Amino acid sequence: MANKRQLKKQIRYICGDVAAECAMAKHLIDGVDKDTLTGALRHVAALQEMSLARVSTTFDKTPADFSSKKEYNAAKHAFYTKAFTSLREEFNKRLQEIVHEMNCALPAKKA
Distance between CA atoms of 66 and 16, rounded to whole angstroms?
42
pLDDT tens-digit readout, 16-73: 999 999 999 999 988 899 999 999 999 999 999 999 999 988 889 999 999 999 999 9
Distance between CA atoms of 67 and 62, rounded to whole angstroms?
11
Q: What is the pTM of this model?
A: 0.84
Confidence of residue 109 (pLDDT cuts 50, 70, 90): confident
Secondary structure element (H or E) that encloses residue 110, with its range: none
pLDDT for 50 equals 95
pLDDT for 3 equals 85
Q: What is the dihedral of CA 18, 104, 25, 108, to 10 degrees?
A: 150
Nearest to 61 by CA among 37, 78, 46: 78
- Helices marked H in 29-68 — which ranges? 34-55
